């Protein structure tokens, strides 16, 4: 036959539910704070670094940039396409940044652009390999660079990509 639970058993069930509820809320707060921190960290790398790193840069259109631009190239460009952990399409573009001129570079701004089948740009990302990955790039030096383009539309059919040098800072 059915016997009603004792008061002690009711208290034990309530205690278990409270522990479960507190654990669930704590876990949700932990996951939320990690996601918030990671999105804030990503924004500060792309936006914050751009604002800070632009100090002293010469860019497209300036006579100094245009005179030295031919000496700074991104060679052997390649790309891979994948999905990140949350299912978004991501393109990682690689290349060799080379300084063939006589001046030391203390800053380089590049833009990676991904194009669709109709040759329209569908996603892009600005990066600062110098000084972010290395403090400077001397004359006749080169380095491998990588730009993660993670804002690619999910249905975009990708045809080509390129990394373009957009800004320079000299020693």
pLDDT averaged over the chain?
Answer: 84
**Domain 58-170: which CATH number of 1.10.287, 1.20.950, 1.10.3470, 2.60.40:** 2.60.40
The C-alpha R_g of the chain, in whole angstroms, comes to 25
pTM: 0.64
pLDDT computed for residue 51 by the predictor: 43
Confidence of residue 154 (pLDDT cuts 50, 70, 90): confident
Confidence of residue 3 (pLDDT cuts 50, 70, 90): low
Confidence of residue 10 (pLDDT cuts 50, 70, 90): confident
Q: Percentage of residues in the chain with pLDDT exceeding 90?
A: 51
Spatial distance between the Cα atoms of 147 and 91, rounded to a whole number of angstroms = 8
| pLDDT value at 93 more than 60 | yes
- HSE-CB for 148 with a 13 A CA cutoff: 10
| pLDDT value at 96 more than 90 | yes
User: Is pLDDT larger for residue 51 or for residue 64?
Assistant: 64
pLDDT digits (tens, 9 = 90+) for 34-45: 877 766 644 444
- Beta-sheet strand order (sheet of 141-152): 72-83, 89-99, 141-152
| pLDDT value at 102 more than 90 | yes
- What is the residue whose two structure tokens read 């063939």? 100
- How far apart, in Å, are the Cα atoms of 6 and each of 1, 3, 12, 129? 15, 9, 10, 68
pLDDT computed for residue 53 by the predictor: 43
| pLDDT value at 113 more than 70 | yes
Domain ranges of the chain: 1-53, 58-170
Dihedral sign, Cα of residue 104, residue 147, residue 74, residue 143: positive
* The Cα angle at residue 148 between residues 95 and 142, in degrees rounded to 5: 25
Confidence of residue 161 (pLDDT cuts 50, 70, 90): very high
| pLDDT value at 50 more than 60 | no
Do 129 and 108 touch, CB atoms closer than 8 A?
Answer: yes
pLDDT digits (tens, 9 = 90+) for 51-60: 444 578 888 8
């Amino acid at each position: 036959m059915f016997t009603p639970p004792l008061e002690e058993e009711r208290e034990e069930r309530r205690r278990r539910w409270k522990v479960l509820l507190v654990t669930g809320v704590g876990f949700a707060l932990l996951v939320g704070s990690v996601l918030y921190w990671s999105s804030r960290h990503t924004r500060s790398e792309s936006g914050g670094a751009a604002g800070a790193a632009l100090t002293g840069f010469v860019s497209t259109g300036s006579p100094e940039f245009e005179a030295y631009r031919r000496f700074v190239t991104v060679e052997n460009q390649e790309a891979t396409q994948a999905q990140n952990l949350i299912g978004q399409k991501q393109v990682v573009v690689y290349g060799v940044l080379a300084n063939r001129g006589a001046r030391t570079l203390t800053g380089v701004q590049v833009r990676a652009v991904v194009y669709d089948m109709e040759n329209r740009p569908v996603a892009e990302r600005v990066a600062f390999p110098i000084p972010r990955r290395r403090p400077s790039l001397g004359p006749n030096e080169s380095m491998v660079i990588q730009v993660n383009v993670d804002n690619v539309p999910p249905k975009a059919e990708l045809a080509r990509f390129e990394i373009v040098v957009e800004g320079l800072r000299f020693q």
